[in-house]
Structure 1
Amino acid sequence: MSCSVALSSSPVFSPSSSFFCNKTSILSPSAETLNLTLTHLKSTSSPSSLSPSSSPSSPFRKRIQKTPSVSLLSSSSPSSLGSGAGFGPGSVLKRKRPARLDIPVATAMAFAAPLMESQGCREMESEGDGYSVYCKRGRREAMEDRFSAVANLQGDPKQAFFGIFDGHGGSKAAEFAAKNLDKNILDEVVRRDEEEIGDAVKCGYLTTDTEFLKEDVYGGTCCVTALIRKGNLVVSNLGDCRAVMSRRGLAEALTSDHRPSREDERDRIGNSGGYVDLCRGVWRIQGSLAVSRGIGDRHLKKWVIAEPDTKILRIKPDHEFLILASDGLWDKVSNQEAVDIARSLCISVDKPEPLLACKKLADLAVSRGTSDDVSVMLIQLGGYVLSSDLYRIGHRANL
């Protein structure tokens, strides 16, 4: 089945999970069975073809003698096919069953959807005021990563919102989050005091998750976002997208990946009635998902929460740039290595080339064997330092 191929190619989602065990088996009919069925349907146009005393030379009888049928259900009993199917008890021969596929029907259809979409672009890139982003498709049929970039937020050049969204089980959740998360966060920010900005971001994430679940589609997405407002950098994440800042050339991770291998995440899942086990070298929730937080993932929503971790810091002159990227990069490139490559093209040159830096990082991950989509966004932080902060720093230096 094409749906099993689509599922197994994802490093995040595993279809052969114990979470889906004890479901009704779905066996694909063989070409022989379908051929037999079509032959029988043609023959039923003649009343004589249904007679028990059909001649041995009848084409339909010859077909039955040559080709044993296969049950379309998990039961091996001939009667399980039902009289309506047109197979009599004597026409069904036992045959070795194919391997069991423990894939729920609804999930299989939903996760196979990306294969039916247009092949789409292999690359996406964009540059704007203070940011550059580059996305490169992995080995899947369609890109599941998305990004969001809103400079001059609310008409203020010192405010902006940026995000990287790494979808799994399709791109629907990533698309939805990229279109709606910034608006939902801003709606909460304007209602609250500046001291409550962390709570505002959290509510924006939870609202986006609730709204997506109402869409009644499958899949989920990891996220990492950066809200720049009044000289503050507010970084939040779900899953294994990551934010890394360059502070005078030193890499500083501002987020921590949410994975079932983390002891605190494993304890949280266990306390909620779930479990984490090791599947082919990867820790997964219910043997299925390799990240423990995200937007969407309705079938695991009890354990895959949408509550982000948030870090707030004041932007200072020694904060050079911020890298937001999906795990397609971080699984193959270290934090410091990413900063070194980006800095060589953005800081230590007369003509900065941040988009080229994003491309070089993505290409490096691909050259090291990643099969995942790779999305890299680079945000220059120098333009967001408030003049009042520059004055205070300069005043202290003179003292």
Structure 2
Amino acid sequence: MLSRLMNFLRACWRPSSDRYVHTSADTAGRQEGLLWYKDNGQHINGEFSMAVVQANNLLEDQSQIESGPLSTLESGPYGTFIGIYDGHGGPETSRYINDHLFQHLKRFTSEQQSMSVDVIKKAYQATEDGFFSLVTKQWPMKPQIAAVGSCCLVGVISCGTLYIANLGDSRAVLGRLVKATGEVLAIQLSSEHNVGIESVRQEMHSMHPDDSQIVVLKHNVWRVKGLIQVTSMWKQ
């Protein structure tokens, strides 16, 4: 039994040349097969660590940490940006988000000269519009790109405020230390958009009252149109 387990683990650590994490902070990490990790890194609000384990031969997910100016203006706010992009159907969407979302956020922050919920919404919308435009151009040659998507979970720390934005079914959790007991409490900061949750199913039915098949129970799993669990509803 032990030898079987070791052979299984060795198979999991095969080398991969795919890109894992983009970050502008000083975060040179280490890679062991399908595991990439960084124990301690510095950002403007403190320290961070991160790890990524690749589940498939082709990595569909991306993540990034940006620390420093959140604006193109010298007088703009400083802070930290964290993005988690859970791709599905391929890597194109998550990589596009990784390359464009933070740049849009910096542009809109410069225009308003401050970080806000509205800035993050505009950055999300501009990124989605840009990817839709890319799909339109590439669809005649690469029709499968129309079936590629990604969740998008973002945290922004600016001027002492933590902003959380979520599109999809990733989850942000805050660990809070209780000094009196030493216990660490896990506090959920975002809500998932997944039709496995009854309230999300109800919302989908209310948004599509004429489509009785908008949510289907397939093999004991609730799915949108019988295909996918995650929805594309926006909440901040």
* Corresponding position of 1:287: 226
Of Structure 1 and Structure 2, the greater strand share is in 2
1:191 is aligned to 2:126:
no
1:51-70 matches, within 5 Å, as none
* Corresponding position of 1:225: 154
Contact between 2:168 and 2:192, CA under 8 Å: does it hold in 1? yes
* Corresponding position of 1:235: 164
The amino acid of 1:235's aligned partner reads I
- Residue 180 of structure 1: SS of its match in structure 2? helix
Q: For 1:123 and 1:160, locate their aligned partners in 2 and report how far apart those are by CA, in whole Å.
A: 24
* Corresponding position of 1:177: 97
* Corresponding position of 1:365: none
Contact between 1:277 and 1:284, CA under 8 Å: does it hold in 2? yes
Contact between 2:105 and 2:123, CA under 8 Å: does it hold in 1? yes
Q: For 1:198 and 1:157, locate their aligned partners in 2 and report how far apart those are by CA, in whole Å.
A: 14
1:333-372 matches, within 5 Å, as none
Deviation at 1:125, TM superposition (A): 2.9
1:146 is aligned to 2:65:
no
1:306-321 matches, within 5 Å, as 307=234, 309-310=235-236
Contact between 2:41 and 2:48, CA under 8 Å: does it hold in 1? yes
* Corresponding position of 1:269: 204
The amino acid of 1:172's aligned partner reads E
Where in structure 1 do 4 or more consecutive aligned residues deviate above 6 Å? Answer: none
Identity %: 27
Structure 1 residues 247-278: Cα deviation after superposition (integer angstroms, max 9, x where no partner): 22211100011111334432343323551011
1:145-164 matches, within 5 Å, as 145-154=61-70, 159-164=79-84
Q: For 1:182 and 1:124, locate their aligned partners in 2 and report how far apart those are by CA, in whole Å.
A: 22
- Residue 190 of structure 1: SS of its match in structure 2? helix
Distance change (3 Å), C-alpha of 1:157 and 1:269: closer
| One of 189, 201, 207 as aligned partner of 2:126 | 207
The amino acid of 1:277's aligned partner reads V
- Residue 225 of structure 1: SS of its match in structure 2? strand
Q: For 1:186 and 1:166, locate their aligned partners in 2 and report how far apart those are by CA, in whole Å.
A: 22
Unaligned stretches of 5+ residues in structure 1: 1-117, 294-304, 311-399
Q: For 2:227 and 2:149, locate their aligned partners in 1 and report how far apart those are by CA, in whole Å.
A: 13
Of Structure 1 and Structure 2, the greater helix share is in 1
- Residue 207 of structure 1: SS of its match in structure 2? helix
* Corresponding position of 1:124: 36
Q: For 1:278 and 1:193, locate their aligned partners in 2 and report how far apart those are by CA, in whole Å.
A: 47
The amino acid of 1:265's aligned partner reads V
Distance change (3 Å), C-alpha of 1:210 and 1:157: closer
| One of 219, 239, 253 as aligned partner of 2:188 | 253
Unaligned stretches of 5+ residues in structure 2: 1-15, 19-32, 136-144, 178-183
- Residue 162 of structure 2: SS of its match in structure 1? strand
The amino acid of 1:181's aligned partner reads L
Equivalent residue pairs, number: 178
Q: For 2:48 and 2:64, locate their aligned partners in 1 and report how far apart those are by CA, in whole Å.
A: 11
Cα-Cα RMSD = 2.4
Structure 1 residues 275-328: Cα deviation after superposition (integer angstroms, max 9, x where no partner): 1011122211110111012xxxxxxxxxxx4x3x22xxxxxxxxxxxxxxxxxx
The amino acid of 1:163's aligned partner reads G
* Corresponding position of 1:134: 51
* Corresponding position of 1:359: none
Distance change (3 Å), C-alpha of 1:267 and 1:227: same
TM-score where L is the length of structure 2: 0.67
Larger Rg over CA atoms? 1
The amino acid of 2:224's aligned partner reads I
**Higher RCO (C-alpha under 8 Å, 6+ residues apart):** 1
Deviation at 1:226, TM superposition (A): 0.7
The amino acid of 1:192's aligned partner reads Q
Q: For 2:105 and 2:198, locate their aligned partners in 1 and report how far apart those are by CA, in whole Å.
A: 29
The amino acid of 1:232's aligned partner reads T
Q: For 2:160 and 2:199, locate their aligned partners in 1 and report how far apart those are by CA, in whole Å.
A: 32
Q: For 2:49 and 2:133, locate their aligned partners in 1 and report how far apart those are by CA, in whole Å.
A: 33
